[in-house]
């Protein structure tokens, strides 16, 4: 059985859990050790069972707790060379044996997990998303995406669970308090995915066999959970897809541990 859970998701910190009975890993660790340990304990997951950390990219909301977790648990951290270059000064010492370089679009294994890091369009040094497989189940983490592409859609196909960014509502962003340069960054091709594009993507992916969609990485000021959900649900209904019957759709919380999916 494969387990997936969003511990935290948003611009204030990201950390996801994926694994089997044998092997469990974290995807990103953008909060303190205490916060992540507390979140794991809330789902009866012992921190000592974590076998490694996958990093999508070097931004602080994804790497804040990486160094201290690696040192405390003596576990490897898997990241592209570009991500390592971008985060070494902020994560602190990570032992040579625990500093593992991975390559985008090249599959690797951690015990009984098979992991494909795939390139994503974001303003970071060689950022990646992760397609993770175990026990004939496929989970894809797809956040921090400036745009949707055919190659990304191909990776997402037939996922048992797709964790998809639904970062902002464009109207909320444009009339909000963010300075112009930040608005342009978010809206750019290497920024973040808006609700409308996430909704169209989710509806399309259901037709390829995706059975569960979890919307994540919501902006604190330019989005809210109900709006993200309604935007996706309405788009699905236009395509003849009924949320709750044809597909499970949920929204990850910023500060609260989400549903534990046993796939």
pLDDT tens-digit map of 165-209: 999 999 999 999 999 999 999 999 999 999 999 999 999 999 999
To 5 degrees, how large is the angle CA 143–CA 69–CA 110?
Answer: 65
Is residue 133 situated within a structural domain?
no
- 225-238 and 195-206 are packed helices; what angle lies between their axes, rounded to 10 degrees? 40
Structural domains of the chain, count: 2
**pLDDT score of 90 more than 90:** no
HSE-up (13 A, CA, CB side) for residue 254: 13
User: Are 169 and 96 contained in the same domain?
Assistant: no
Q: How confident is the model at residue 12 (pLDDT cuts 50, 70, 90)?
A: confident
Is residue 163 situated within a structural domain?
yes
* Structural domain that includes position 55: 1-102
User: Are 27 and 96 contained in the same domain?
Assistant: yes
- 52: domain CATH number is 3.60.15.10
Give the residue from 216, 145, 143, 220 showing the smallest Cα distance to 176: 220
Calpha distance 204→117 (Å, rounded) = 22
Contact between 51 and 111 under an 8 Å Cβ cutoff? The reply is: yes
User: Are 215 and 149 contained in the same domain?
Assistant: yes
Q: Which of 43, 70, 102 is the last residue of a domain?
A: 102
How confident is the model at residue 93, as a pLDDT?
86
- 33-42 and 66-73 are packed helices; what angle lies between their axes, rounded to 10 degrees? 70
Q: Which of 69, 102, 135 is the last residue of a domain?
A: 102
User: Are 81 and 2 contained in the same domain?
Assistant: yes
Output the average pLDDT for the chain. Answer: 96
Q: Which of 102, 137, 163 is the last residue of a domain?
A: 102
């Amino acid at each position: 059985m494969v387990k997936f859970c969003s511990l935290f998701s948003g611009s204030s910190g990201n950390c996801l859990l994926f694994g089997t009975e044998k092997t469990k890993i974290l995807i990103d660790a953008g909060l303190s050790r205490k916060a992540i340990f507390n979140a794991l304990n809330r789902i009866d997951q012992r921190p000592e069972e974590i076998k490694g950390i996958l990093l999508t990219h070097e931004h602080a909301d994804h790497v804040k707790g990486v160094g201290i977790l690696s040192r405390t648990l003596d576990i490897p951290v898997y990241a592209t060379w570009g991500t390592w270059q971008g985060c070494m000064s902020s994560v602190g010492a990570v032992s040579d044996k625990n500093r593992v370089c991975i390559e985008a679009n090249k599959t690797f294994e951690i015990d009984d997990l098979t992991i494909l890091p795939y390139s994503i369009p974001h303003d970071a040094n060689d950022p990646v998303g992760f397609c993770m497989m175990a026990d004939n189940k496929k989970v894809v983490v797809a956040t921090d995406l400036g745009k949707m592409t055919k190659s990304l859609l191909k990776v997402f196909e037939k996922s048992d669970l797709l964790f998809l960014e639904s970062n902002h509502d464009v109207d909320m962003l444009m009339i909000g308090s963010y300075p112009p340069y930040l608005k342009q960054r978010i809206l750019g091709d290497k920024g973040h995915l808006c609700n409308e594009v996430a909704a169209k993507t989710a509806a399309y992916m259901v037709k390829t066999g995706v059975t569960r969609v979890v919307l994540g990485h919501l902006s604190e000021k330019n989005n809210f959970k109900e709006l993200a959900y309604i935007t996706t649900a309405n788009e699905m209904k236009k395509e003849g897809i009924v949320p709750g019957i044809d597909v499970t759709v949920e929204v990850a919380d910023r500060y609260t541990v989400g549903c534990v999916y046993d796939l």
